[in-house]
A and B are shown apart, each in its own frame.
Chain A
């Protein structure tokens, strides 16, 4: 079984249109996939440097249709981090846009299509991939960790089906891209709409550019998704006063939205006859796990909702026992067919089968009200979200320690605010910020750095975060 096989019946229906007027149909995807297969010859590993363009979309969908396993990466990825991933996983092909061709080293171009190049790597390495493996995504892309999430065809199929069901997605929808294709939330929008034969509106423009809104109006976009920061920007640029009659659905995920913004956008949607849907998910669950039905957006403001169709939530205490009483905090656990197969940390892990067996301990702390709605209250694991992207604090420490030998670091913070503590002298601090930016591309406004004479440790040498943050 391969993904997107039923979609043949969509024939000449529009699959995607970009902001330069280029169009592709579902039929075009079929012939693209066939040609791709001619070059790749079956199940193999490919790295896709993605952007919201037709070439990138066709590459992604073409791989899924033919069983080629892509690792999706942002096209701006730092070369050093890309090389690390290449050396770890030895992909057979790289699929890169024209302007990033220099990133494909030691390669032979075997196919040029739609602004993209399929490059075969000279290094010959036979890779064994688990038969059901369909897609790889980074857990924390920006810090260059080799840790990936392994998603199966069944995972993607189940999650897309469920999303279509609770958002009532149909063929007339026209979502506009606001999220990258290396991001599970962005992919879930693509997957669920392609499943229904809808048309995707692709743009590399951002919401702070007039051409983005011209495109949205002209092509009559019906929906978009955004992370919390997106909604802050939308508010600032006067979105709430814009007249967009065709826009019907706005979804939000990628971190907890502030209560005020949740309220504001929920009321806006209600007044204008639109839907605002707050959702909850992780790459480890092939995107979506929970959603707050639009009809409850005001009444249950601040909640991330209930489990998606086909899934189940419960809370566990620190002895891993289920909490049955309402209003008690515990770790959120999810069960469903969309829970991914497991992680991969090296090439040999790609042969592994299903390790998680449909159950995911999310690492998020939550409570449930007496009507069964869930509220995220905190996190068990050491990571924060910076503009919707997960950033593992331990990985940031590792990245910095690797670069600055002999210097100690401790990272802490909350969403959209990373704090780096270091024993490096004051004069060197800017160098750390520069390096961090160069590697991760994370906006330095979200990062604060502070000198400490010594990073506090316990006797075992573990950092005492409670004493610094």
Chain B
């Protein structure tokens, strides 16, 4: 699986969204992406990519696109 496929799959599973809804998706833009969903998503991405995301980056991870920028800092190029 490519990094993008993993990334999308985690969103789809943890936030219960469809792939076509991913572009432009924002934190709290849907009911499932609340603080609980957010922490699940972060935990799963950390596990899949074997990284540790810092506090400020957990908070910066505010949209589907923003998340890609955050992960790039950890060497995960999507």
Chain A residues near B37: list those with CB within 8 A: 443
Q: Is the CB of B60 within 8 A of A207?
A: no
Q: Is the CB of B59 within 8 A of A444?
A: no
Is A437's beta carbon under 8 Å from chain B? yes
Q: Is the CB of A236 within 8 A of B59?
A: no
1/0 contact string of A193-233 vs chain B (CB within 8 Å) = 00000000000001111100100000000000000010011
Q: Is the CB of A208 within 8 A of B59?
A: yes
Residue from B14, B28, B54 in contact with A445 in the complex, judged by beta carbons closer than 8 Å: B14
Enumerate B31-47 residues with CB–CB distance to A below 8 Å. Answer: 31-32, 34-40
Q: Is the CB of B56 within 8 A of A208?
A: no
With contact pairs A76-B31, A445-B14 given, residues A229 and B58 touching in the complex (Cβ less than 8 Å): no
Enumerate B6-37 residues with CB–CB distance to A below 8 Å. Answer: 14, 16, 27-28, 31-32, 34-37
Is A237's beta carbon under 8 Å from chain B? yes
Chain B residues near A209: list those with CB within 8 A: 27, 59, 62
Is B2's beta carbon under 8 Å from chain A? no
Chain B residues near A232: list those with CB within 8 A: 39
A114 to B69, CA, bound (A): 37
Is A238's beta carbon under 8 Å from chain B? yes
Is A387's beta carbon under 8 Å from chain B? yes
Question: Which A residue sits closest to B13, measured CB to CB?
Answer: A444
Residue from A76, A210, A236 in contact with B39 in the complex, judged by beta carbons closer than 8 Å: A236
Is A441's beta carbon under 8 Å from chain B? yes
Q: Is the CB of A387 within 8 A of B62?
A: no
With contact pairs A209-B62, A437-B16, A441-B31 given, residues A229 and B55 touching in the complex (Cβ less than 8 Å): no
Q: Is the CB of B34 within 8 A of A206?
A: yes
With contact pairs A441-B31, A444-B16 given, residues A208 and B38 touching in the complex (Cβ less than 8 Å): yes
Q: Is the CB of B27 within 8 A of A445?
A: no
A445 to B16, CA, bound (A): 11
Enumerate A38-90 residues with CB–CB distance to B below 8 Å. Answer: 76
Chain B residues near A441: list those with CB within 8 A: 31
A437 to B36, CA, bound (A): 13
With contact pairs A209-B62, A238-B55, A441-B31 given, residues A233 and B39 touching in the complex (Cβ less than 8 Å): yes
Question: Which A residue sits closest to B40, measured CB to CB?
Answer: A445
Enumerate B53-71 residues with CB–CB distance to A below 8 Å. Answer: 54-56, 58-60, 62
A sample of 30 cross-chain residue pairs with beta-carbon separation below 8 angstroms, ordered by A number, consists of: A76-B31, A206-B34, A206-B38, A207-B35, A208-B27, A208-B35, A208-B38, A208-B39, A208-B58, A208-B59, A209-B59, A210-B59, A210-B60, A213-B59, A229-B36, A232-B39, A233-B35, A236-B39, A237-B55, A237-B58, A238-B55, A241-B55, A434-B16, A437-B16, A441-B31, A443-B32, A444-B16, A445-B14, A445-B36, A445-B40
What 8 A-B pairs come out closest when comparing CB atoms? Answer: A238-B55, A206-B35, A210-B59, A443-B36, A208-B35, A208-B38, A237-B55, A445-B40
Task: Show the binding face of B for A, using Cβ within 8 Å.
Answer: 14, 16, 27-28, 31-32, 34-40, 54-56, 58-60, 62
